[in-house]
Chains A and B, each alone.
Chain A
Amino acid sequence: MSETKPDATLDVRGLFCPIPIVKLSEAIKNYPTGTVLEVLATDPGTLTDIPAWAKTSGNQVLKTEREGTVIKFHVKKVK
């Protein structure tokens, strides 16, 4: 199992729908294709929202992990 190290982190802990998705879509614009962005969230809605956003926007969720109340995603910019 190869572990991809994230290139940057986006912290949206304590923020609720729709802000995590809005911030993620804005943040990812600043990075080149292939960048892996780590997203830290606490809104349980992000568990399905971030994969749904990735699917529609053509990006990729590499990993979803829960650490207590924090949900950690690794999102790869594909396009």
Chain B
Amino acid sequence: MSEEKKKVLIVCSKGTLDMAYPPFMIATTAAAMGWDVHLYFTFWGMDIVTKGKSDKLKLASVGNPSLPMPNILGMLPGMTAMATKMIKGKMKKSNMPSIPEMIKTAKDLGVKFHACTPTMQLTGLTKEDLIPEVDDLIGAATFVDLSKEATVTLFV
């Protein structure tokens, strides 16, 4: 193919288990299809690339009407852990990779990981608090610059 390389940029702004998957599914697939892929982690999305949180993302039991139980029960102690355990069990059964496995696959395929500096300032995180897969720390201007020649830009 002589056409220039396609590029996808995905903003990962959520830190719950369910919202961490879609960016990685698209990222790994696009990279496997030969695209240039950039993930930009910001706000709660930073949890995906923060040491000690990256492998412990949870499913929200509050304000999640998709769970098979009355919504009000979501606020009870232990419900978040229970909902998370339930979904992780289901994922394992259907051979779905875990988030750490998805991170490794994405990295192996050449996906670039960018962390958002304003979020780090806000939460007091430093580069050492992040998993080593993070390539660099960038601000909005760099993001805009990266996105100017992106074929697709997604906000998750």
Residues of A within 8 A of B (CB): 14-19, 21-22, 24-26, 49, 52-53, 56-58, 79
Contacts and interface: CB of A to CB of B under 8 A. Distances in A.
Nearest to A17: B25
B28 A18 contact: yes
Given A14-B95, A16-B94, A22-B109, A53 B25 contact: no
B94 A21 contact: no
Nearest to B109: A22
B151 to A, nearest CB: 11
B33 A25 contact: yes
Given A16-B94, A16-B96, A22 B1 contact: no
B33 A15 contact: no
A22 B96 contact: no
Interface of B: 1, 6, 25-26, 28-29, 32-35, 94-97, 105, 109
28 contacts: A14-B95, A15-B95, A16-B95, A17-B25, A18-B25, A18-B28, A18-B32, A19-B97, A21-B28, A21-B29, A21-B32, A21-B33, A22-B28, A22-B32, A22-B105, A25-B33, A25-B34, A25-B109, A26-B32, A49-B29, A52-B33, A53-B32, A53-B33, A56-B6, A56-B35, A57-B33, A58-B34, A79-B1
Contacts of B33: 21, 25, 52-53, 56-57
A-B interface, 3 closest residue pairs, ranked by CB to CB distance from nearest: A25-B32, A18-B29, A56-B33
A66 to B, nearest CB: 21
